């Protein structure tokens, strides 16, 4: 996609985020709420998901034990098949030509390892704060899919089996941009589709 699309998308994401905070006070990692960017240019359509780990595997902390790691690996495998996440109309003749699936982890507690050297602190009051930091650690699932479509105007709606695949999920906040303009809206599990008629 052309560079301008990413510039416009970034700008719209900023304004969308501000608007969302003003209207709903949505926390960046609110459980049950993921983010989806959809960008259309010419015959190409891209989907970019950023979803808190709690929505996918039931936890946001960095996986340490074998059971949690297995859940992460299974989730990544599920994302590898985009039809587990969303589907496009067959008459749009869209073919997947690129994808990236990853887990982004942040372990803030690791930054506090140097405190082990401060044995002279008898009370170690800071360690109570460290426990709080550990709760702030999180993982986020990232998935991006790019399609080349033979009849992109046939995409009148996009369906999301995502909500049935990951039952902890509740909502996707969608930012949609094309040469027709940009818009933002939400899609929820009780009505898992978006209407794109007239937006492409």
Show Cβ contacts of residue 80 under 8 Å, excluding neighbours closer than 6 positions. Answer: 99, 101
Give the C-alpha distances (Å, rounded to integers) separating 51 from 90, 92, 121: 26, 27, 40
Q: Which residue has the tokens 């690996």?
A: 73
pTM of the model: 0.74
Give the sign of the dihedral formed by CA 171, CA 173, CA 177, CA 182: positive
Mean predicted lDDT score pLDDT of the chain? 80
Task: State residue 21's pLDDT score.
Answer: 38
Give CA–CA dist 53/146, Å, rounded. 23
At residue 138, the pLDDT reads: 74
Cα separation, 86 vs 158, in Å, equals 7
The parts of the chain modelled with pLDDT lower than 70 are: 1-31, 107-137
- Per residue in 31-41, pLDDT tens? 679 999 999 99
Domain boundaries, the chain: 3-195
- Alpha-carbon distance of 74 to 80, in angstroms, equals 10
Strand 171-178 relative to strand 33-41, pairing = parallel
- DSSP code at position 87: B
Look-up of token digits 């899919």: 145
């Amino acid at each position: 996609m052309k560079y301008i699309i990413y510039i416009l998308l970034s700008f719209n994401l900023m304004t969308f985020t501000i608007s969302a905070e003003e209207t709903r006070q949505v926390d960046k990692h609110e459980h049950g709420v993921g983010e989806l960017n959809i960008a259309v240019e010419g015959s190409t359509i891209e989907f970019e998901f950023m979803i808190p780990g709690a929505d996918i595997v039931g936890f946001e902390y960095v996986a340490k034990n074998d059971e949690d790691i297995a859940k992460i690996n299974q989730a990544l495998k599920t994302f590898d098949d985009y039809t587990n996440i969303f589907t496009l109309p067959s008459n749009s003749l869209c073919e997947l030509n690129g994808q990236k699936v990853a887990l982004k982890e942040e372990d803030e507690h690791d930054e506090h390892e140097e405190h082990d050297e401060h044995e002279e602190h008898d009370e170690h009051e800071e360690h109570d704060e460290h426990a709080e930091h550990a709760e702030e650690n999180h993982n986020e699932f990232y998935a991006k899919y790019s399609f080349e479509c033979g009849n992109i105007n046939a995409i009148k709606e996009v369906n999301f089996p995502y909500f049935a695949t990951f039952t902890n999920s509740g909502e996707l906040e969608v930012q949609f941009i094309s040469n027709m303009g940009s818009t933002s809206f939400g899609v929820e599990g009780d009505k898992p589709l978006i209407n794109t008629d007239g937006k492409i």
